Structure 1
Amino acid sequence: MNVYELVAKQKQQLIDIRRYLHMHPELSFQEQNTAKYIQAFYDELGVPYRANVGGNGVVATITGALPGKTVALRADFDALPIQDEKDVPYKSTIPGVMHACGHDGHTATLLIVGKILWQLRDELRGTYVLIHQHAEELDPGGAKSMIEDGCLDGVDVIFGTHLSSNHDVGHIGYRVGPMMAACDSFDITIQGRGGHGAHPHQTKDAVVIGSQLVLNLQQLVSRRVSPIESAVLSIGGFVADNASNVIADTAKLSGTIRTFTEETRELMEQEFYRVLEGTMIAHDASYTIDFIKGYPAVVNHEHETLFVRDVAKQLDCVTNAFEMVPTMGGEDFAYYLQHVPGTFFYTGAYPGYDVPHHHPMFDIDERGMEVAAAMLLQAAIEYQSAS
């Protein structure tokens, strides 16, 4: 069975689905119309599914004629609050919202995979669970609630892929162990004492205190985390908006912490609070904080990751299967991997010009979806006979 040839026959529908979704994006936890689109696709085929799984999630199930394992495949379908600035016929029609990370391509890919599996069901072994997940981009994400609602019940293994604008079409990136980082975030309000700019001795300047806090926090990675480990602490927001002759009464800071191991994650949180409290004591100021424990690290299982590597090497449409360097980006696919064996890999979809994910000009080479579909199909079907 040549799965790439099966996918190639669906090329136009694959593109049509992706472009429709690109033109009609919906933000995390607001994806009702996208969910209905997915449901309508399966309704037309006759594929059974469950709607409203953990929120807006959709889970379709295809059972082969022969007994076998239960393989789950996952694709996310939420968009981002970004204005689409591309000059293309399929540009987003929703102001300030666009698919700037490839989730439209993920959904199109999995729908076509589902269509092909449905066509082949009489000759397939096992069961195939197609997880269409809402809200990957916004904590707490959709994976956790979908798992709680039973999307992994009876599942033996799970595979997922992310289209990457940073890698050429035909390239598959895999990695055993930690591949993507745990993502925590924080919002701090510093309470000082405002006053007249001409009388600083009567104040507790929230801007000065906040600036000192930023500098102190930057020492955590360089002086608290082992150089053998990896961590990132970034301050993304610092707001204290006042007139030029007003010393700030309050300042608000926000940022993110990224780590790969739970030990480093706990260390960073512990030291973060120690530095925060110490800085406030030094300046006789107070604070409030919202510290959000986000997605855990994506930790791929060895057997399943090497299995996907071997699958990639079998497919003619894959020109390069390579071991990836870990990335500090986050993904709630991590939750699935905490429950069942599996792996998450990258599929190249470089659009021909350099543009990162989450950018107003983001796009993909749609041929990457064909490779992604072939990879998921081959992995799902071949896993039935894998030891």
Structure 2
Amino acid sequence: MEALTVDAAFLAELRRDLHAHPELRFEEHRTSALVAEHLRHLGYTPHTGLARTGVVATLDTGIAGPAIMLRADMDALPVSEAGQAPWASCTPGVMHACGHDGHTTMLLGAAALLKADPPPRGRVHFVFQPAEEGGAGAQVMIDEGLFDLFPTDYCFGLHNWPGLEAGRMGVRSGPIMAGGWRFAIQITGKGSHAAQPHLGTDPLTIGAALVQEAQLLVARRTDPTIPAVVSFCVFDAGTTDNILPETARLAGTLRALDPVVLDELKDGLQRLCNGLQMAHGVNIQVNFHQPYPVTVNEHHATQLARKAMHALDVQMGGPAPDMDITPSLASEDFGFMLQKKPGAYAMIGNGESYKLHSPDYDFDDSIITRGVRYWHTLAHTCAAQEHAP
């Protein structure tokens, strides 16, 4: 195992090519074609077309054993890149601001390494998923038959994490990423002259009251030991400084690490809107959309990931893994896969880089080899267990 090499220079060049050519959710046509071409070059027969641009390839040892699914996301974000690297985005208004270019590259590297040194038994499915960013591409792949076409015992995911030491691995049992709802709210009142507010019904002040009152859903109505947040990110009203507007538009997100709490936040926000509508005689429309489940790591799968991280630490040295990493209130559609199959979602440190979704963010190429070897070690670790679930 230690004698096998990872072509770090080639993979870094591949990652930078992906970074320079980002594609939004369900539009990852170039990325998908590049992934499939690379897999064919390695000797795989990729399955294409799931969720439009998804790619799946299987390494089958021909010997009965556990089947595992290793997943990487491929899509970029509608963000204008501020960085000036030679591999900066060539597509205006679109960039890899979440490191999915690195995730795709690490999994392609793992496909090569496992082809050279396959596990002694079982199967490994390499899943290159579109539309993680708000498109629930994981659920679309599931709906189109992912687990029927590729029967699986365990699912595993890996995400880079700025602020965690470069190359440091992290995982935890139980919730690791929050579930979330997006919401869009429109308040329709009656416009009036700014000097005559009594002749109208001001949706702006009602919206401001809603923003303030909604914070009590977490601060006073949620168990403080359960992480949760209500964030209003859009408040749009009015066109000039002497007219009270007729409408106000608000939008944001609800997040929680407990699905019951997440439902309570959603119901609570709806009740607040209903109450303000009745109290002030306005019309308030609420649209909840883009639900993502809590990403919950199953205990035994987490133990397999921890075992692989420990083995990787012995092989490579470097920063010791965090076996009980702090969960995040960011959301991740890998949670849909973990609702269907046991598995574990892990982190790999991206060092002191700019934060995810920042226009200055970039993936740290120095961690690619460690990510590749984690996938390789995890596949061997799973194959070595005595019984599949």
> Which TM class, normalised by the smaller chain length?
over 0.9
1:138 to 123, 134, 137: 134
Residue pairs, 1:90-109, within 5 angstroms: 90-109=87-106
Residue pairs, 1:110-149, within 5 angstroms: 110-121=107-118, 124-139=120-135, 141-149=136-144
Paired with 2:353 and 2:120, the residues of 1 have a C-alpha distance of 41
Residue pairs, 1:67-82, within 5 angstroms: 67-82=64-79
Cα shift at 1:37: 0.9
Aligned: 1:30 with 2:31:
no
Mark the CA change 1:348 to 1:254 in structure 2 (over 3 Å): closer, same or farther.
Answer: same
Query: How many percent of aligned residue pairs carry the same amino acid?
Result: 34
2:327 counterpart residue number: 326
SS at match of 1:337: helix
- Asked if 1 retains the 8 angstrom alpha-carbon contact of 2:350 and 2:364, the reply is yes
Q: Would you say how many aligned residue pairs link Structure 1 and Structure 2?
A: 380
1:356 counterpart residue number: 355
Q: Which amino acid aligns with 1:319?
A: P
2:58 to 42, 58, 61: 61
Aligned: 1:385 with 2:381:
no
2:17 counterpart residue number: 20
SS at match of 2:16: helix
Paired with 1:40 and 1:79, the residues of 2 have a C-alpha distance of 20
- Asked if 2 retains the 8 angstrom alpha-carbon contact of 1:190 and 1:250, the reply is yes
Cα shift at 1:151: 2.0
Cα shift at 1:313: 1.3
Aligned: 1:152 with 2:147:
yes
Paired with 1:39 and 1:256, the residues of 2 have a C-alpha distance of 35
Q: Which amino acid aligns with 1:357?
A: L
Cα shift at 1:385: 1.6
Paired with 2:93 and 2:263, the residues of 1 have a C-alpha distance of 36
2:179 counterpart residue number: 182
Residue pairs, 1:2-17, within 5 angstroms: 2=2, 6=4, 8-17=5-14
- Asked if 2 retains the 8 angstrom alpha-carbon contact of 1:65 and 1:124, the reply is no
CA displacement, residues 34-75 of structure 1 (integer Å, 9 cap, x when unaligned): 111111112222311110112211111111143322111000
Cα shift at 1:307: 1.8
Cα shift at 1:349: 2.1
Paired with 2:132 and 2:222, the residues of 1 have a C-alpha distance of 29
- Asked if 2 retains the 8 angstrom alpha-carbon contact of 1:131 and 1:151, the reply is no
Cα shift at 1:16: 1.4
Q: Which amino acid aligns with 1:310?
A: K
Paired with 2:30 and 2:120, the residues of 1 have a C-alpha distance of 32
SS at match of 2:255: strand
Paired with 2:247 and 2:193, the residues of 1 have a C-alpha distance of 14
1:344 counterpart residue number: 345
- Asked if 2 retains the 8 angstrom alpha-carbon contact of 1:61 and 1:129, the reply is yes
Paired with 1:341 and 1:12, the residues of 2 have a C-alpha distance of 34
- Asked if 1 retains the 8 angstrom alpha-carbon contact of 2:62 and 2:121, the reply is yes
CA displacement, residues 271-302 of structure 1 (integer Å, 9 cap, x when unaligned): 11111111111111111221115110100011
Cα shift at 1:14: 1.1
Paired with 2:37 and 2:363, the residues of 1 have a C-alpha distance of 25
Cα shift at 1:247: 0.9
Cα shift at 1:253: 0.4
- Asked if 2 retains the 8 angstrom alpha-carbon contact of 1:185 and 1:257, the reply is yes
- Asked if 2 retains the 8 angstrom alpha-carbon contact of 1:165 and 1:363, the reply is no
- Asked if 2 retains the 8 angstrom alpha-carbon contact of 1:159 and 1:376, the reply is no
SS at match of 1:135: coil
CA displacement, residues 148-205 of structure 1 (integer Å, 9 cap, x when unaligned): 2222231011111101222112311111000100010110110100011222111001
Cα shift at 1:28: 1.0
SS at match of 1:125: coil
Q: Which amino acid aligns with 1:146?
A: M
TM-score computed with the length of structure 1 as normaliser: 0.95
- Asked if 1 retains the 8 angstrom alpha-carbon contact of 2:48 and 2:55, the reply is yes
Deviates more, 1:304-313 or 1:74-83: 304-313
SS at match of 2:249: strand
Aligned: 1:284 with 2:281:
yes
For structure 1, the 5+ residue unaligned runs are none
Cα shift at 1:240: 0.5
2:296 to 296, 299, 305: 299
TM-score computed with the length of structure 2 as normaliser: 0.94
Q: Which amino acid aligns with 2:362?
A: D
Paired with 1:280 and 1:319, the residues of 2 have a C-alpha distance of 54
2:166 to 166, 169, 182: 169
- Asked if 1 retains the 8 angstrom alpha-carbon contact of 2:69 and 2:124, the reply is yes
- Measured on the aligned residues, the alpha-carbon RMSD in Å equals 1.4
Cα shift at 1:367: 1.9
Paired with 1:366 and 1:84, the residues of 2 have a C-alpha distance of 18
1:252 to 234, 240, 249: 249
Paired with 1:127 and 1:59, the residues of 2 have a C-alpha distance of 13
Paired with 2:376 and 2:191, the residues of 1 have a C-alpha distance of 62
Q: Which amino acid aligns with 1:372?
A: G
- Asked if 2 retains the 8 angstrom alpha-carbon contact of 1:72 and 1:157, the reply is yes
SS at match of 1:130: strand
CA displacement, residues 60-97 of structure 1 (integer Å, 9 cap, x when unaligned): 11111433221110000000111112121111111111
Paired with 1:235 and 1:329, the residues of 2 have a C-alpha distance of 15
Cα shift at 1:354: 4.2
